[in-house]
A and B are shown apart, each in its own frame.
Chain A
Amino acid sequence: MGDAGQERAADELIDKIEKAWSRQHQSRLQVTQLRRLSAGASADSFHLSATIDGGQDVEMVLQLFASARQFPGALGKVAQGHVARLAAASGITTPEVLLFTGPGDGLPEGFATRFQRGETVGRRIVTAEALAPARAQLTAQCARELAAIHALPVADFDMLHPFGARAQLDLLAGLHRDYGQPIPVFELAIQWLKAHLPGEYPEVVVHGDFRVGNLIVDDGGLVAVLDWEMAHIGDPMEDLAWLCIRPWRFGRLDLAMGGIGTRQALYEAYAQCGESQVDAARLRFWEVLGTLKWGVICQWFLHDTLASAQPSLERLAIGRRVSEVELDLLEVIEGHDCQIP
């Protein structure tokens, strides 16, 4: 598409967004600037600057569903927007949802949230000198935020489905075996997980993808939690474990909590909020399952791109990250990972 074509497409998109706004609000939106942020695997995202009724300025991030293929279990864009809106209304630190889009607007399913300034890139959050004061706060802030999410009233979130330990293990084992490239370390992890399935646990709202990389952070620490795509009803330990798995430590493998803090500090701060007991055996189960999940997601990225006419180099390279995950699995299963519970 040439520059003129791109401009026309942007104008059409703006027109549709403004019309969608009018249908949902008693006000008129005028978009002054539209900037594409990324063309992701399952969403196209845009930054919008606009005015409401010619006065109040507003900045938004619009995410539009872009592909029929999503990792199994992920929420559609509209359901995701509803979860985010309900969570924000219940006091969770997540950007306010301002607009929904759908076929009725001539747009893909999607939603727009209020833009919030801050750092989202994991490596910079973990290493930037300017963010040292933020890192000092972040472990306790994440613990408090997770405790608040786990205290949300389950009955209000009827768009979320239970997704427990057994169902998640079966899904991952099935996906892995279907790829037809059996990886012995993955099979070992599957057998270990089968032998360590947790018993009873309290059923709570689980964010499902709470990690450094899905947080907005500024000098004061946590600004917002993003990306409710993997939300479900399940074990609160799943979120605490996912935050600590080795793939999200950005070079600081010695600091389990996202390369920023220790597991112990996270667990203590979480326990102080008094919502759920911290359970070492369940945490360990979910760390192994979470690590395996990232490994299967790497395989999924690879097979998805291999099936396309023009495989993406980035996705192909992700396929070779599976061996990192193999080491991660062995380290956690064999108890060599730092400060393992």
Chain B
Amino acid sequence: MTARSPEAPVLLRAVSAFLQSLIREEAAGGRDWEARIARNCVELVCRELALRPVHEPAQRQRLQTLLGSSETDLSTLDAQLCKALHAGEIHWSNPELSAHLRATTIEQLRIDNPRYLRLSGVTAPHEASGDSGKEAS
């Protein structure tokens, strides 16, 4: 199926801009807070559409290596990792585990809340050059 114009990100950005205008207009009104949450959610979905396809292959590969598994479904791999932690097959202090979880958490925060990453002063090793300016909070 070819993507019809306007594509999803274009539509979402327009919705986000509309919600932004509500925030300004109703700054003194009662629904400002909800409009702000709605705007943030739409921005989050935009980031997810752009970044998930970038993050997922790397996450899958790290999990497969860590678990010695050929499973491809990410939720199943996460569940397997939890089980291995619970059973003590992978120790909580394992450095490869720690590196994977840190990288995955940073990738997820680039979608969920890039502002929190900046506030925390945390960057992934491969992002050390810094591209924080690209993401509007």
Interface positions of A (Cβ within 8 A of B):
182-185, 187-188, 190-192, 195, 251, 253, 313-314, 316-317, 320-321, 323-324, 326-327, 330-331, 334
**Shortest beta-carbon distance, B62 to chain A, in Å?**
11
* Structural contact, B112 and A323, CB atoms closer than 8 A: yes
- Using CB atoms, name the residue of chain A closest to B97: A188
- Using CB atoms, name the residue of chain B closest to A188: B92
Task: Report which residue of B91, B92, B117 has the largest number of chain A beta carbons within 10 angstroms of its beta carbon.
Answer: B92
What are the interface flags for B85-104 relative to A under an 8 Å C-beta threshold, 1 for contact and 0 otherwise?
11010011000011001101
Extra pairs beyond A323-B108, A323-B112, A324-B116 (17, CB < 8 Å): A184-B78, A184-B85, A184-B101, A187-B81, A190-B86, A191-B85, A191-B91, A195-B92, A313-B37, A313-B38, A316-B41, A320-B113, A323-B105, A323-B109, A327-B109, A327-B120, A330-B98
Determine the distance from Cα of A327 to Cα of B103 in the docked complex, in whole angstroms.
Answer: 10
* Structural contact, A188 and B85, CB atoms closer than 8 A: yes
What bracket does the count of chain B residues touching chain A fall in?
20 to 34
Determine the distance from Cα of A42 to Cα of B1 in the docked complex, in whole angstroms.
Answer: 47
- Chain A residues with CB under 8 Å of B104's CB are 184
Task: Known contacts A253-B120, A324-B116; decide if A314 and B85 are in contact (CB<8 Å).
Answer: no
- Chain B residues with CB under 8 Å of A316's CB are 41
Determine the distance from Cα of A286 to Cα of B34 in the docked complex, in whole angstroms.
Answer: 33
* Structural contact, A182 and B79, CB atoms closer than 8 A: yes
* Structural contact, B38 and A321, CB atoms closer than 8 A: no
Q: Which of B17-47 contact A (CB under 8 A)?
A: 34, 37-38, 40-41, 44
- Chain A residues with CB under 8 Å of B92's CB are 188, 191-192, 195
* Structural contact, B41 and A182, CB atoms closer than 8 A: no
- Using CB atoms, name the residue of chain A closest to B108: A323
Determine the distance from Cα of A339 to Cα of B35 in the docked complex, in whole angstroms.
Answer: 37
